[in-house]
Amino acid sequence: MTDNLRWVLVLVQLPSEPSRHRVAVWRELRKAGAVPVSPGTWALPASPAFQPALDRAGELCRNGGGTFAVIDASPRDEASARLIFDAFAAARVDEWVEFMADCGKFEAEIDREIAKSKFTFGELEEEEQSLDRLRRWYRDLKKRDVLALPEASAAEERLLNCERVLDGYAEQVYQVMRGSSPAIDSPPEPKKPGATP
């Protein structure tokens, strides 16, 4: 698989002060999925999907008085290709593992709410927002995982399970709330003869 991938190296040089420029560029490259391969040098697959992030990082670097160079890289041997590939794959695996751990926290949170019988629309809305955050995170990770790692499939299954768990919780919330207030979709009870309005 390493020989199918083409890479770019990103060379970043910035003044040491103020550090905010260095941090901004570092964060943008990390967000894109770039991995550091030596001080000031980052690697990314050569794919148009990464170009917008490279453009943003380059602009941040130049705004900070630095230089930013993107160079097409062709490793000369398998060991060189493997060095870049392994660094990129390890970063993606770490991200997927962290994502799945957060899925586990989400599932545990729902279990706690059920155990406490906390069946409120407010709590349900909070959990829906947490699931939306997981969905956005999954999409971001999926965009930069051009290696189609097995961890990506496992993460997708974990996310689907989170959706099932939330659906089950939502059903319980609706059942409890429906029992505690008149149902909107129920017809009004008929008036008894002689009853005053």
Q: Is the pLDDT of residue 59 over 90?
A: yes
CATH of domain 88-180: 1.20.58
Q: Is the pLDDT of residue 67 over 50?
A: yes
Average of per-residue pLDDT values in the chain: 88
The CATH number, out of the four listed (3.30.70.240, 3.30.750.24, 3.30.70.270, 3.30.210.10), of the domain defined by the range 2-74: 3.30.70.240
Q: Quick check: 173 and 123 in contact, CB under 8 A?
A: yes
pLDDT on residue 189: 53
Burial class (CB within 10 angstroms; exposed 0-12, middle 13-18, buried 19+) of 20: exposed
**pLDDT category, 91, cuts 50, 70, 90?**
very high
Strand order in the sheet with 67-73: 35-38, 41-45, 7-13, 67-73
pLDDT on residue 123: 93
Q: Which residue in 92, 37, 32 sits closest to 60, CA to CA?
A: 32
pLDDT on residue 184: 46
- Collapsing DSSP to helix, strand or coil, 71 comes out as strand
The residue with tokens 């751990």 is 101
More confident residue, 144 or 69: 69
Measure the CA–CA gap between 157 and 150, rounded to whole angstroms: 11
Centroid of chain to Cα 98 = 10
* pTM of the full structure: 0.79
Q: Where are the domains positioned within the chain?
A: 2-74, 88-180
